[in-house]
Amino acid sequence: MGWLGLDDTDSLKGGCTTEVLFRLLNDLPDDVSFRTPRLVRLWPFAKQRTRGNAAVAVELITENESELLIHLDKWWQQHVESLKGVLGTSDHSERTQYPADPGMIWTSESMTDEAFYKSAVSSEIELQNVPEVTRYWGGNGRIGATAAVLWPATQCTYEAIAWRSNEAEGRRQLDEVALAEVEDLKDTFLCRNPKLGTSLLAPRGNSPVLFGIRSWTKDGAQHALDILEQGNDTEPTKGSLVFQTNQATGDHLEVPVEAYVRSKSILKKGHVVLETTQGTWMAFRQSGHIALLSQWVIKGDLLIGNGLRDEDDVLHLELLKVKKSISEQKRPLCVRCNKSMKSMGKNQGLRCKRCNLTSDRGWVEVERIPPFQNWVQPPPSSRRHLSKPLQEK
CB 136 within 8 A of CB 105: yes
State pTM to two decimals.
0.86
pLDDT of the residue at 284: 96
Question: Strand pairing partners for 278?
Answer: none
DSSP code string of 116-149: HHHHHHHS---GGGSPP-SEEEESTHHHHHHHHH
CB 260 within 8 A of CB 339: no
pLDDT of the residue at 269: 86
Question: Strand pairing partners for 303?
Answer: 259, 322
Low-confidence ranges of the chain (pLDDT < 50): 90-93, 392-393
pLDDT of the residue at 315: 97
CB 157 within 8 A of CB 214: yes
Any idea of the CA torsion for 78, 81, 84, 88, to the nearest 10 degrees? Answer: 30
Domains of the chain: 1-152 (3.30.70.2200), 156-249 (3.90.600), 257-326+369-382 (2.40.50.1010), 333-361 (no CATH)
pLDDT of the residue at 90: 46
Cα 29 from Cα 62, distance rounded (Å): 9
Question: Strand pairing partners for 198?
Answer: 193
CB 6 within 8 A of CB 21: yes
Q: Which has the closest alpha carbon to 313: 263, 275, 351? A: 275
Would the CA dihedral through 64, 66, 69, 75 be positive or negative?
negative
Cα 53 from Cα 285, distance rounded (Å): 22
Cα 360 from Cα 382, distance rounded (Å): 51
pLDDT of the residue at 205: 74
Tally of CB atoms within 10 A around 291: 23
Cα 173 from Cα 164, distance rounded (Å): 10
pLDDT of the residue at 392: 45
